[in-house]
Amino acid sequence: MSIDRVILFIGPPGSGKGTLSQECVQKLGWTQVSTGDLCRKHIAKQTEIGKSIDFAIKSGKLVSDGLISQMVFDWFKKGQQQSDVVILDGYPRTVNQARDFNALADQLGDAAQVVVAKFVIDDDVVVDRLVNRYICKNKSCQRVYSLKPTSSFVPANDMMCDACGSELIKRKDDTADAIKERLKVYHLHENDLLSHYEDAGYEIREFKSDLPIDQLFTEFKERLGVSL
């Protein structure tokens, strides 16, 4: 399938990029690529990319920009998109990755439009969200829940996925300390990344992502001119 639009979701972990992506997948039929999910899949399948990522993580290093880009390119090369709109959730995260992506975007053809969406949220809200976050264990589902009683994502049945009935699990890196570290790394690159796109003439569409998901989804569709 040819690609009309690639939407880059730029925002800190826990800013609701994943949840908004899920809405777009379920209600608009778009395709979402999350680099976090791709990393986990490659590691689980022990692919060459997965082994390299695993090695970097186990040696306490950051996974290199080149490796992350290679993984995203591999995904596009295999043609796994099932729609003409693709959301890149969490990529590019650095200017180097953005430069890699420019090369990829050229290969996607002239028709493919790249849209930059930025999600803004307070770090405190992120930490609070992520320490309460649980994920469906089923690899083909991976729906996200919150055990915070005021959240609209509390599972109907205790620790069980509403969609597929699988057990809900917590990611190892969803602890307060690990989240603060991820936020630090994110903020380190955020301004440079956004300047890169501004300098290249892109309009940055900014969304306040502490809105309830239905409001965020409505605003998102309006601002992107999606008429469904």
According to CB under 5 A, which residues from 166 to 185 bind Zn ion?
Answer: 166
The answer to whether 146 and 132 are in contact (CB under 8 A) is: yes
C-beta of 167: minimal distance to Zn ion in Å?
Answer: 9
C-beta of 10: minimal distance to Zn ion in Å?
Answer: 27
* Contact pattern from residue 119 through residue 148 relative to Zn ion, giving x for each residue in contact according to CB under 5 A and a dash for the rest: -----------------x-x--x-x-----
Q: Of 103, 164, 169, 188, which one interacts with Zn ion (CB under 5 A)?
A: 164
Number of residues that bind Zn ion (CB under 5 A): 8
C-beta of 174: minimal distance to Zn ion in Å?
Answer: 17
Q: Which residue has the tokens 């590019």?
A: 92
The answer to whether 189 and 118 are in contact (CB under 8 A) is: no
Q: For Zn ion, which is the closer residue by CB, 159 or 188?
A: 159
User: For the sheet containing 144-146, what is the strand order?
Assistant: 144-146, 133-136, 168-169
Strands 144-146 and 113-120, how do they pair?
A: unpaired
Cis, bond preceding 92 (omega within 30 deg of 0): yes
Q: Token pair of 15, please?
A: 């800013």
By CB under 5 A, name the binding residues for Zn ion.
Answer: 136, 138, 141, 143, 161, 163-164, 166
